Structure 1
Amino acid sequence: MTAKLRVGIVGCGAGRTHLVEGYVPNAELFEVVALCDLNEERLAAVGDEFGIAGRTTSFEALLAMPEIDVIDICTPPGLHLEQSLAALAAGKHVVCEKPLVGSLAEIDVIMAAEARSAGRLMPVFQYRYGNGVAKAKAVIDAGLAGKAYAGTVETFWRRGPDYYAVPWRGKWKTELGGVLMAHAIHPHDMMTYLMGPVDRVFGRVDTRVNDIEVEDCLSASLRMQNGALVSLTATLGSADQLTRIRLAFENLTLESDHAPYRPGEADWQIIAKTPEIGAQIDAVLADWEFVPSRHTTQLRLFHQAITTGAPLPVTTADARQALELVTAIYHSSETGADIALPLDAGHPKYSGWAPAA
């Protein structure tokens, strides 16, 4: 019989999504035993909806529950560092929503704390998972793509005054960034998941759509470590909403589904350059088993890693790579410079990417 991991969720907004997409579909692997939220009305509503008896408004009380194996952190970004460190210090495993923290310095503190702890921490990058992106990854991993040439990532979403009426959104201190940090970080992570690490970055960000502190438009040009050239474009002012990833390789071109929040779910276009390559792709995918999307698969793989000691599906090192790209784009936009990665403790934005003003 598979051992269940017992979970306490803090933050019932995004936490409800984790329940619907992650814990309920994997009920044989997890038992959510407690919820924590400062909003007692929301706490009661989510607890009643999912039949979860354990409820508290105190994060400290949640940490003190000996029956909990995993703390799932779904609070506003400005709280992630403190709560992740406390959960690791308590010996709990941690699942934490993006962005994990607000600087490279803070992620290095998290990584050091994880190394000392009996617990392991998995950042949430659920867009990596789904049947379409899994097929694309399988074809690449089979060596069929060949040399990487170029790619584009478009995150064309819409966010307006209603979205930013939530007090912590749109502010450097509490949301930690705008479209680059809070929205496009997911498609950008999908791109590096398929294309590998970034080598150099030139970027621009601007606030053109909303009356907020943080940016809501961006454009960036990347050179990948494999030599490919990739462009990133994002806005929160699009009339329609789509996420589109298109990657050109020597032997094939991949294009994602365009669903804004589930670009990995539906089948991707896999365009072979020759009939022979097409036949090899068909052979790789011949006995394909369906891969559920988003949290359903990421949390299933998390359970497997925790119970067997296997590598986590997403690691703090992956989160650091994502935050290096964020830091480099913000720094490039501020200075007009082309930025080389990786970034270490000597980088001017190591302790935070928010503008000095």
Structure 2
Amino acid sequence: MSIKTVAIIGCGIGRSHIVEGYLPHPDKFRVTALCDLNVERLNEVGNEFGIEKRTTSFKDLLADDSIDIIDICTPPGIHLEQVLDALASGKHVVCEKPLTGSLKGVDRIMEAEKRAKGVLMPIFQYRYGDGIEKAKRIIDAGIAGRPYVGSVETFWLRTPEYYSVPWRGKWETELGGVLVTHALHLHDMMLHLLGPVASVFGRVATRVNDIEVEDCASASLLMRNGAFVSLSCTLGSQEQISRLRLHFENVTFESSHEPYAPGKDPWKIIAANETVQAEIDEVIGNWQPVSPRFTTQMAHFHAYLSGNGPLPVTTTDARQALELVTAIYQSADTGREITLPVGPESPKYANWRANTR
């Protein structure tokens, strides 16, 4: 099992990737380089973790043949260009969400992947943890039965101080608001458990902060499996929670309310009867604890690179989440229900800001 060398560009959330994703796996990864335009932060993180190579030039990392993986943790507005350049350099790529700011951009990346020597893994770390992985195993085993309805709540708080960072709250640099930067995690969890969306009716508004992008949204979804799902999100909640509650024929699941790690236990797993409970016990009775968030996603990534498992998160997964965003924005503009899939015929395909009224 070879140790993969990693270069991180962007030392903000990039520091969390080091702490949660790479340091727990010293037999799998070694962070050998950092890149950040903020030299003070670059040196602070470099000194903290003893990382010698530090640069303000992304091109330096692309040209370094000793680097196996480029981990992109920069502001969203430059993800597309950096992902394409990193793939073209022949390296493996990890990219924070949102992968990019339009379905057209995602499709460009998917075309580039077909020609690339390396692979791309988008970040959706909320998929990992004991609670959500138990639920996934029960659903995949067929125990839960038909899905009926669900609700997904992203109730977080962001103040003017948060938006004092120059790139936040702007279409050009953050690419969107609560749907793109915050609730995307919970919505991916829902898609991971319930599968694809058939149609969407959505509303968005900017009610909490003086910013360009939305900070409140709601949507009504019809899933392809027939289930109804309601999404609600705001950045004006005085108590921060993240919550999924999914009702199936035989089981009801409710996630932890931890805002930034809802995949962790405790999850409520409520069986319809003793027979169903016995089936659940059979499937998860020998459960081995799973580390949450980046720790497990990166472990699965290394397993894939070593030929020992599937790629844990794919560009197709990222596209599915951003397709939902696109449909909600289009519905909010037009006041109409939007049927998925969303393709180049959509006025929002290339630009979420395009007016479709």
TM above 0.5, yes or no, is: yes
1:346 offset after TM fit, Å? 1.3
Which structure 2 residues correspond to residues 1-357 of structure 1 after superposition, within 5 A? 2-308=1-307, 310-356=309-355
SS in 1 for 2:311: coil
User: For 1:296 and 1:354, how far apart are their aligned partners in 2?
Assistant: 35
Query: Residues 233 and 181 (structure 1 numbering): CA distance in 2 closer, same or farther, change over 3 Å?
Result: same
User: For 1:198 and 1:309, how far apart are their aligned partners in 2?
Assistant: 31
1:184 offset after TM fit, Å? 0.2
1:348 offset after TM fit, Å? 1.1
Q: Answer whether contact 2:333 2:355 (CA < 8 A) is retained.
A: no
User: For 2:249 and 2:183, how far apart are their aligned partners in 1?
Assistant: 27
RMSD between aligned residues: 1.0
Give the stretch that moved more between structures: 278-287 or 3-12.
Answer: 278-287
Q: Answer whether contact 1:133 1:267 (CA < 8 A) is retained.
A: no
SS in 2 for 1:227: coil
SS in 2 for 1:161: coil
SS in 1 for 2:203: strand
1:355 offset after TM fit, Å? 4.5
Structure 2 unaligned residues grouped into runs of 5+: none
User: For 1:192 and 1:125, how far apart are their aligned partners in 2?
Assistant: 12
Q: Render the CA deviation track for 1:182-218: whole Å, top value 9, x for unaligned.
A: 0000000000100110000000000000000000000
User: For 2:266 and 2:3, how far apart are their aligned partners in 1?
Assistant: 32
TM-score norm. by structure 1 comes to 0.98
User: For 1:272 and 1:311, how far apart are their aligned partners in 2?
Assistant: 30
User: For 1:212 and 1:70, how far apart are their aligned partners in 2?
Assistant: 35
**For this pair of structures, how many residues does the alignment match?**
356
1:166 offset after TM fit, Å? 0.2
Q: Answer whether contact 1:177 1:354 (CA < 8 A) is retained.
A: no
Identical pairs, percent: 62
SS in 1 for 2:144: coil
User: For 2:25 and 2:294, how far apart are their aligned partners in 1?
Assistant: 10
SS in 2 for 1:201: strand
Q: Answer whether contact 2:70 2:86 (CA < 8 A) is retained.
A: yes
1:345 offset after TM fit, Å? 1.2
Structure 1 unaligned residues grouped into runs of 5+: none
Letter in 2 for 1:276: T
User: For 1:3 and 1:25, how far apart are their aligned partners in 2?
Assistant: 16
SS in 2 for 1:7: strand
- Runs of 4+ aligned structure 1 residues displaced above 4 Å come to none
User: For 2:278 and 2:204, how far apart are their aligned partners in 1?
Assistant: 43
Letter in 2 for 1:340: T
Q: Render the CA deviation track for 1:201-241: whole Å, top value 9, x for unaligned.
A: 00000000000000000010000000000000000000100
